Amino acid sequence: MRNDAAEVVVVGAGIVGCSVAERLTALGVRSVLVIDQGPLFRTGGSTSHAPGLVFQTNASQTMSRLARHSVEKYRGLRYRGAACFDPVGSIEVAATPERWTDLKRKHGLATSWGIESHLLAPDQMVRRVPLVDPARIHGGLFVPSDGLARAVWAAAAMADLARQRGARFAGDTEVTGIDVADGRVTGVLTTSGRIPADLVVCCAGIWGPRIGRMAGVPIPLMPFQHQYVKTTPLASLAGETDEARHPILRHQDSAMYFRQHRDRYGIGNYNHVPLPVAPDDILRPGQAPIMPSVTDFTPEDFKQAWADAVTLLPEIGSAEIDESFNGMFSFTPDGLPLIGEPRSVRGFWLAEAVWVTHGPGVGRAVADWIATGRPGTDLRECDLHRFERYATSPGYVARRGWQQYDEVYDVIHPQQPLEQPRPLRTSPWYPRQADLGAFFLEFNGWERPHWFEANSGLVRGRDIRRPGDWAARYWSPVIAAEHLAARERVAMFDMTTLPRVEVRGRGALGFLDRLTTGNLDRAPGYVTYALMLDETAGIRSDVTVARLASDRFQVGLNGARDVDYLERALPTDGSVQVRDITGMTCCIGLWGPRARDVVAPLAADDFSAAGFGVFRCRETLIREVPVTALRLSYVGELGWELYTTADFGLRLWDLLWAAGQDHGILAAGRGAFTGMRLEKGYRLWGTDMWSEHDPDEAGVGFAVRSGKTGYVGFDALRERREAGPRRRLVCLSVDDGTVVMGKEPVRAAGEPVGFVTSAGYGYSVGMSIAFAWVPPDLSAEGTALEIEYFAGRHPATVRREPLFDPEMSRMRA
């Protein structure tokens, strides 16, 4: 191996590393070196033993898109004249009524993401996979474009393409260290010598945490063992010469999958106690009997799987297990990949926790990001900066990875929380909320009340529409009662989970002004709702900026990614400092027509309409509690966000609670908050809009200050506005009252044209509400559409926003 300088060193020659190298060289990056501790290209990592099943449909649009990119790439690859992908299609079977219902939902997901799929009756399914006993199933979901990737061949084929463009590959070269100087990668230490490098891309898979530690970067993934066997030949497949004719098959009710291997079948099994492996315990290539990612088969874990396989595919009962192993692959705390460049070590890029299904798609995105500054697709769900420090701790990664493995084929509700470790993060008033019977769901580690059983008495006398079974999984009629009572009286909402930073310094105004679309150059005491755009005018985030002093701002954000973005953008002269204050502060949203009646008698300053206008802020006292008060509302009611430090939090709650007793105050949860938000037409970043959408398309163009120039994305936004919108986010009423959950397809004249984002029931307007992305020509008020929900069609109508407005007197208050 030559030890001369490489512009980019890719660590790992599996499917991800080879994909990154191939795409980088296609974009003109010629100095690329790919190294691996194992032999090329059956290196001994997860790619080397992967059975290659590619199912594209996922609850995440991002993951489905990455899988679609991967299929496109696989289909165009050939290695030594042979195809690297068999487009045999896939079928997921339903052995229970619950799974059959869920496959109807999954059919909707595929439609929303542009993936052709079909619901099959048992006899239709058996025509494609004759081994299945039709008496055992209720039906199946067929995706014609899914199939089998020959991952090792595909890696080698992409390596050949990269080599033709100048890339080099070196096997049997173990990384022993990463050189970092002044926070930037300078080289890679290997068993073959030191390699100077400007960029290092870590595609080490199950060894990722080990490589990350060399660079001082925590990589929150945990390898788990997964069982796979091949049967002896089956009589019905005798003489078969094609690798596979049958569609790949998933039997999720038994946590299993199947694929054809010419005249035999392969069976993968998740239906066993998770078997984690510490990355440091994985053998090196020279030490492993077969390969490092393969361990001894544990037959006791396969007994039930074999019985379930024979039940579904009876002919397997006449065969035996011919080959078997436990193979390792990676899980993260949320089951999604880790992509990006950590701020702590510039030039050290991650493309980790990626399976064969998404390998080329991730490789393309990472290479595009490195070479052009943009990944070419929205990666908010995969960005490594989505995790805060606690989520990278070994104990957290192991416990959450365990649950991700255990639930990999479970029917997961969109609101279903991970169960451990909990409680992890709590606001100061957590004990008060528990005393009120709070039903908590988890968000970013926080315990967040969804409703309060103490408010169950408010249900009496109200005609409350119950959603269907799926939408009612994490629902209570108390949500409706809290929603209506908050509109009638006053409620306290826990807003502590809203991330926030303090930005200060002599350059703070110019810094924030360059990164946001709003007018921030106003006197202290003003709050501005603004957007942070990327270079393409996509909505990177939306923020609320409170100017507390000439050189000090409080900025409400959407997550750790935003904090990272601000810190990366800091000027080098020290004129601006950014401090994350989320954990040291807390926030009550005090909202409702009687909010002023509660807070005004406690406040040291004037909280009247004249003395404290909308979108104003003030540092003041609530009795003896120092607070930062922002007059704004995310539910469309009179009120304030009241921030204080965590040590004063419980006192603030108690003061407001006592003062509110004569005004019917209640604690209200996230369920009520969501319905009220939808009625007011307020967008939720990450759910309703993200970097693929510009402000006008998303209906937040008002947050772009007219006449302002020079902010990030300004030039691109001007060009987009000249071209006109590509789509629109609209508010729909679901006219038969069906409550949907989000991500359902929207149809016009029977054809899919878009998908739902947020959804819920507006109890103040008596209407089921859904926000949805649709083409511009279908966005006019009154346009008739349909929403597909569990394979049923439900009429919907585009509505003018907002659906709910307080009385004019309340708006003037």
Q: How far apart, in whole angstroms, are the C-alpha atoms of residue 519 and residue 512?
A: 10
Mark residue 21 as left, alpha or beta (left: phi above 0; alpha: psi -120 to 50; beta: remaining).
alpha
Cβ atoms of residues 796 and 786 within 8 Å: yes
Structure tokens given for 640: 């304030």
Bridge partners (DSSP) of residue 544 are: 529, 556
Cβ atoms of residues 44 and 291 within 8 Å: yes
Closest to 93 in 3D by CA, of 49, 141, 53 = 141
What count of Cα atoms within 13 Å lies in the side-chain half-sphere of residue 683?
29
Cβ atoms of residues 122 and 139 within 8 Å: yes
Active site residue: 107, 226, 483, 794, which one? 226
Contacts of range 618-625, beta carbons closer than 8 Å, 24 or more positions apart: 618/525, 619/548, 622/652, 622/655, 622/656, 623/655, 624/651, 625/651, 625/652, 625/655
* Residue 257 is a catalytic residue: yes
* Residue 542 is a catalytic residue: yes
How many CB atoms neighbour CB 63 within 10 A? 23
DSSP letter at 745 equals E
Closest to 142 in 3D by CA, of 292, 288, 246 = 246
Q: How far apart, in whole angstroms, are the C-alpha atoms of residue 263 and residue 241?
A: 8
Active site residue: 160, 308, 383, 542, which one? 542
Q: Which residues contact 457 (CB under 8 A, 6 or more apart)?
A: none
How many CB atoms neighbour CB 686 within 10 A? 19
Per the listing, tokens 């409680």 go with 423
800 backbone dihedrals φ, ψ, rounded to 5°: -75, 140
Q: Where are the alpha helices (DSSP H) in 76-145?
A: 97-112, 122-128
Q: Which residues contact 296 (CB under 8 A, 6 or more apart)?
A: 325, 326
Helix (H, G, I), strand (E, B) or coil at 286: coil
Structure tokens given for 161: 């393409």
Closest to 355 in 3D by CA, of 326, 375, 328, 325 = 328
Residue type, 220: P
Q: What share of the chain is helix, strand, coil (3-state, %, to 5)?
A: 30, 30, 40
Q: How far apart, in whole angstroms, are the C-alpha atoms of residue 586 and residue 589?
A: 10
127 alpha carbon, distance to own chain's centre: 37
Q: How far apart, in whole angstroms, are the C-alpha atoms of residue 263 and residue 512?
A: 64
Active site residue: 74, 228, 257, 643, which one? 257
Residue-wise over 74-88: b if at least 16 C-beta within 10 A, else e?
Answer: beebebeeebbbbeb
Q: How far apart, in whole angstroms, are the C-alpha atoms of residue 669 and residue 681?
A: 19
Closest to 330 in 3D by CA, of 239, 408, 413, 216 = 408
Q: Active-site residues: which are they?
A: 226, 257, 542
